Amino acid sequence: MNDTTFDYIIVGAGTAGCLLANRLSADASKRVLLIEAGKRDDYHWIHIPVGYLYCIGNPRTDWLYQTEAAPGLNGRSLRYPRGKVLGGCSSINGMIYMRGQSRDYDQWANITGDANWQWEKCLPYFKFHEDHYKGATPLHGEKGVLPELLQTGNAQDEHSTDYFKVLKARQAGGEWRIDKQRLSWDVLESFSKAAQQAGLPSTSDFNQGNNEGVGYFDVNQKNGWRWNTAQAFLRPTCYARPNFELWTQAQVAGLVIETGADGLKRCTGVKVWDGHQLLTATAKREVALSAGSIGSAHILQLAGIGNAQSLHDKGVAVTHDLPGVGANLQDHLQIRSVYKVKNAKTLNTLANSWWGKAKIGLEYAMSRSGPMSMAPSQLGAFTKSSPEHAWPNIQYHVQPLSLDAFGEPLHNFPAITASVCNLNPTSRGSVSLKSADFNDAPAISPNYLSTDEDRKVAADSLRVTRRIMSQAAMAPYAPEEYKPGAQYQTDEDLARLAGDIATTIFHPVGTARMGRIDDVQAVVDPELRVRDGRGGVVRGLRVVDASVMPTITSGNTNSPTLMLAEKAAQWLAHEALASS
């Protein structure tokens, strides 16, 4: 930490941060600092797929956030896992590769007024870093096949062309491995058949723009190991670059924001607590906040960028009154229906003895397959909770196991879980300061099930689950509804019971959302520059993570976060080249 002046400072070595660091440090003339509050990803359970059970709720890898008590959850507070380790949430998440639906991105383009966010213009940025087991196709990328962006440049001017030339010389692209799952379960095959009997089509690829159907999820694994963004984008690529520096166990305590002679604000660096002292790192070009939907909003608020009254109440000097910071929190709430089954192999029964656990461990050691290689959810489905919806609006994560919540023990009876979530919730929550001390976690209030529409979708989705479980394909297992309980039938009962059994599926977005220049709730512009609340931007400061999504994607959020980071890297490099 001797020389603390860099061209770029990236806050958060998670999903977006690792990709940004890779792309920006490809230019050997630019010094890049990547800052991570957690430790390195050398904890063995990170890399074993089933290890998420030991990473969530573990201070070694998790921020250990808790939500505020929620009326929609009948007064419950939820554990709110966020990765605090190299790789961020990609080190503890469910490993599911999911883009969402094309309408999500077309909606972003409409909200922001920027056509660059349309599905057809986002697709090349998904494909650029993909290494898909099916190989290169019009929808997917493959390592070793020159990405579309590098073939055409997709460049509007010479500076973008120069950026892609740098990446091509570095052999960038194809870092993000997408694998087929390495095991199957008879009971899940039967659920798939039951879903088809209930009217869902079968699909072999959820990532074509419309994810309707039932099928197996593709996962971010490689040869049976979790493939997190630290492995994909940092090791060994960035580690071998002399212009790249990584600080771990270093928490950003604030931003350095200065006022220029023209009266405009510029972010010139960050204040970092390394466990012993407070350091200042200086950015000659830009600071990119990639600390996630909780962390980035928290850092902005600590820097005095947020709702002026709320900041004043917590004793924080106001830099810019930007009321959208921390607002617009959206998340997918999963309603975990549990069904006891008979005549079925489930993880509950396989792992209920030391002998069973030993067999599972041996299978993984010998072939990198079996239950230890599995993502939390193997089978997925997308459908409509009721006929009036134009697109699939609910998603299933189906698991050959049951437990009260991730991090809790498996039940001692054979069971499966059909977890369903509302893909497009209308409830909006918030992230706000509890105090001006950076060590104090923010108040997280997702405000689940706070709208009539969300409660109706919750009730309807439980009925869809029951319809699937009542099909002939499931009859050999004599499924018995354990949660929420078949005795509950009315909309009111089902919405209330959803509040009792639902939990987060770990997809918070939207707390620093992008929007048009006249949108008073927008925190960043369409190129992710932080607004100053007066029609301009805070120079040298961007947010690059899921917090900028104006609306949540219709599926898991990790892959869309990588895509928007890919776009942001191009914009950052473009500005540097244009000014040189």
- Residues 237-279 have pLDDT tens digits of 999 999 999 999 999 999 999 998 888 999 999 999 999 999 9
In this structure, the strands spanning 130-132 and 176-178 are: parallel
Output the six-digit token pair for 22: 């890779």
CB 61 within 8 A of CB 92: yes
pLDDT score, position 152: 63
pLDDT average, residue stretch 376-395 = 96
308 alpha-carbon distance from chain centroid:
29
Q: What is the mean pLDDT of the chain?
A: 95
In this structure, the strands spanning 537-543 and 415-422 are: unpaired
pLDDT average, residue stretch 74-96 = 97
- Residues 519-569 have pLDDT tens digits of 999 999 999 999 998 899 999 999 999 999 999 999 999 999 999 999 999
Instruction: Verify whether residue 507 is a known catalytic residue.
Output: yes
Tell me the torsion sign for CA atoms 220, 221, 225, 231: negative
* 369 CB-side CA count, 13 A: 8
CB 430 within 8 A of CB 413: no
pLDDT score, position 155: 55
Provide the terminal-to-terminal Cα distance of the chain, rounded to the nearest Å: 27
Interaxial angle between packed helices 558-579 and 119-128, expressed in degrees from 0 to 180 and rounded to the nearest 10? 90
pLDDT score, position 156: 57
Output the six-digit token pair for 116: 């660059």
Q: Torsions phi, psi of 289, nearest 5?
A: -85, 115
Virtual CA dihedral for 294, 114, 210, 422, nearest 10 degrees? 30
pLDDT score, position 577: 82
pLDDT score, position 352: 81
Output the six-digit token pair for 370: 């079996």
CB 318 within 8 A of CB 309: no
Neighbour count for residue 289 (Cβ, 10 Å): 33
pLDDT score, position 370: 85
| E strand residue ranges, 357-442 | 379-383, 394-399, 415-422, 430-432
pLDDT score, position 29: 95
Q: Torsions phi, psi of 144, nearest 5?
A: 95, -15
Please report which helix (H) or strand (E) contains residue 312, including its range.
Answer: helix 308-313
DSSP string, 63-99: --EEBPPBGGGTTB--EE--B-BTTGGGGTS--B---
pLDDT score, position 112: 98
Neighbour count for residue 486 (Cβ, 10 Å): 10
pLDDT score, position 480: 97
pLDDT score, position 49: 95
Q: Is a pLDDT exceeding 90 seen at residue 488?
A: no
Output the six-digit token pair for 267: 């972010």
Q: Torsions phi, psi of 65, nearest 5?
A: -70, 155
pLDDT score, position 182: 86
pLDDT average, residue stretch 422-445 = 98
Three-state DSSP state, 567 = helix
Q: Torsions phi, psi of 206, nearest 5?
A: -80, 0
Closest CA to 60 of 32, 40, 77, 76: 40
Q: What's the rounded Cα separation, in Å, for the pair 172 and 159? A: 18
Output the six-digit token pair for 121: 């213009």
Virtual CA dihedral for 206, 455, 324, 555, nearest 10 degrees? -10
CA distances from 39 to 83, 87, 247 (A): 10, 10, 9
Q: CB within 8 A of 79, min separation 6: which ones?
A: 56, 57, 64, 65, 66, 405, 407, 503, 504
Q: What's the rounded Cα separation, in Å, for the pair 330 and 510? A: 6
DSSP string, 427-490: --BEEE-S-S-TTSPPEEE--TT-SHHHHHHHHHHHHHHHHHHTSGGGGGG--EEEETTTT--S
- Residues 130-157 have pLDDT tens digits of 999 999 999 999 999 999 898 865 555 6
Closest CA to 482 of 406, 395, 557, 414: 414
**Residue among 132, 298, 507, 574 flagged as catalytic:** 507
Residue 518 burial (CB < 10 Å; 0-12/13-18/19+)? exposed
Virtual CA dihedral for 376, 381, 384, 389, nearest 10 degrees? 90
- Residues 173-228 have pLDDT tens digits of 999 999 999 888 999 999 999 999 999 999 999 999 999 999 999 999 999 999 99
Closest CA to 574 of 165, 267, 32, 125: 165
476 alpha-carbon distance from chain centroid:
37
Q: Is a pLDDT exceeding 90 seen at residue 162?
A: no
Q: Is a pLDDT exceeding 70 seen at residue 381?
A: yes
pLDDT average, residue stretch 60-79 = 96
pLDDT band at 100 (very low <50, low <70, confident <90, very high): very high
Closest CA to 167 of 23, 380, 378: 23
Q: What's the rounded Cα separation, in Å, for the pair 212 and 526? A: 29
| E strand residue ranges, 274-316 | 278-289, 305-306
CB 193 within 8 A of CB 473: yes
Neighbour count for residue 106 (Cβ, 10 Å): 17
pLDDT average, residue stretch 492-512 = 93
Please report which helix (H) or strand (E) contains residue 293, including its range.
Answer: helix 292-302
pLDDT band at 398 (very low <50, low <70, confident <90, very high): very high
- Residues 309-346 have pLDDT tens digits of 999 999 999 999 999 999 999 999 999 999 999 999 99
Length of the chain: 580
